[in-house]
């Protein structure tokens, strides 16, 4: 005999993961950053993001956030503009009353071999991916410490932990993100702030497609899922990691790469 079950009439639907949260996401006009903005808004958050240059894509992100009935703010500020980032933080605190979540996502890569890497190329990658992490996080961390609550998520890469055929300066910068995450998590735990990271594989983004086509095809063979990641694959995990339901993870780097075997 086939059994059927019914839901109690008074059962409330599951709460959104990020209901009422105030979020800052770096690099929100494209790729993984755009997906993070959309998924976080879907889960109930108001979302502010910075971007470097593409006004059209930034406005598209704003529309995606607002389509879920959430507040959206776009700031055309580089992650290496220290003064601009401080003003962005002050503006958000004044208008929103605080900041609950920071996702450090913005990064660049340049397809160089080490022996042909120029000093300019090296400094550009390190400045954006490492110094930018500091410039964004410092003022927002101070806000969270005063609140005695918050969540910081840093996006790193499997290139930082595996022998991937990628640029040395990129792998170096992403290894620095891991050290930053682990050390900061210890300092901020007593203030009620969680700090974790995601090591991303290769995703179907502009950054992912900056890699040689041959490497992308090889990667698909390495990966159990048999494909590049979709940006929302990472964003869905990120939403949980930044939510109050993730109450006991601290200083961890979660790999989201489709099962890369290298």
Burial class of residue 11 (count of CB atoms within 10 Å of its CB; 0-12, 13-18, 19+): exposed
**Residue 85 contacts residue 141 (beta carbons within 8 Å):** no
- Give one DSSP letter per residue of 125-160, joined into a string: HHIIIIIHHHHHHHHHHHHHHHHT-EEEEEEEEGGG
Q: Which entry of 51, 170, 203, 219 is annotated as an active-site residue?
A: 170
**What pLDDT does residue 65 have?**
98
Stated pTM of the model: 0.92
Exposed, middle or buried: residue 261 (CB in 10 Å: 0-12, 13-18, 19+)?
Answer: exposed
Cα–Cα separations (whole angstroms), residue 215 to 109, 170, 180, 190, 224: 15, 16, 29, 43, 16
What distance in Å separates the CA atoms of residue 88 and residue 81, rounded to the nearest whole number? 10
Q: CA 93, CA 88: separation in Å to the nearest integer?
A: 9
22-26 and 72-76 as β-strands: parallel, antiparallel, unpaired? unpaired
For the chain, the structural domain boundaries read 22-254
Exposure of 103 by Cβ count < 10 A (0-12 exposed, 13-18 middle, 19+ buried)? buried
Give pLDDT tens digits along the chain (262 positions).
444 445 556 666 668 999 999 999 999 999 999 999 999 999 999 999 999 999 999 999 999 999 999 999 999 999 999 999 999 999 999 999 999 999 999 999 887 889 999 999 999 999 999 999 999 999 999 999 999 999 999 999 999 998 877 889 999 999 999 999 999 999 999 999 999 999 999 888 777 766 667 777 777 778 888 888 899 999 999 999 999 999 999 999 999 999 886 6
Q: Topology of domain 22-254, per CATH?
A: Rossmann fold (3.40.50)
* Residue 203 among the catalytic residues: no
**Separation of alpha carbons 96 and 47, rounded Å:** 10
What is the predicted pLDDT for the residue at 249? 98
Q: How many CB atoms lie within 10 A of CB 125?
A: 24
| In the block, residue with structure tokens 């389509």 | 67
What is residue 222's predicted lDDT score, i.e. its pLDDT?
Answer: 80
């Amino acid at each position: 005999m086939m059994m059927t079950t019914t839901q109690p009439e008074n059962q409330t639907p599951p709460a959104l993961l990020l209901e009422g949260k105030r979020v800052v996401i770096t690099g929100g006009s494209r790729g993984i950053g755009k997906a993070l903005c959309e998924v976080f808004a879907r889960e109930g958050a108001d979302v502010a993001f910075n971007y470097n240059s593409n006004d059209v894509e930034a406005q598209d992100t704003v529309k995606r956030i607002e389509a879920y009935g959430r507040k959206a703010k776009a700031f055309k500020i580089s992650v290496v503009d220290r003064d601009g980032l401080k003003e962005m933080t002050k503006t958000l605190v004044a208008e929103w009353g605080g900041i609950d979540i920071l996702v450090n996502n913005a990064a660049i890569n340049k397809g160089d071999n080490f022996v042909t890497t120029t000093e300019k190329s090296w400094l550009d990658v390190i400045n954006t991916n490492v110094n930018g992490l500091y410039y964004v996080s410092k003022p927002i961390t101070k806000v969270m410490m005063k609140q005695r609550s918050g969540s910081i998520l840093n996006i790193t890469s499997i290139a930082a932990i595996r022998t991937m055929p990628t640029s040395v300066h990129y792998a170096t910068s992403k290894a620095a993100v891991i050290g930053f995450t682990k050390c900061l998590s210890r300092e901020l735990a007593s203030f009620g702030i969680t700090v974790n990271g995601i090591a991303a594989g290769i995703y179907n983004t502009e950054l992912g497609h900056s890699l040689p086509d041959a490497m992308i095809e090889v990667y698909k063979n390495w990966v159990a899922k048999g494909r590049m990641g979709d940006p929302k694959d990472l964003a869905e995990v990120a939403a949980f990691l930044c939510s109050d339901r993730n109450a006991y993870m601290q200083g961890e780097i979660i790999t989201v790469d489709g099962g890369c075997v290298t």
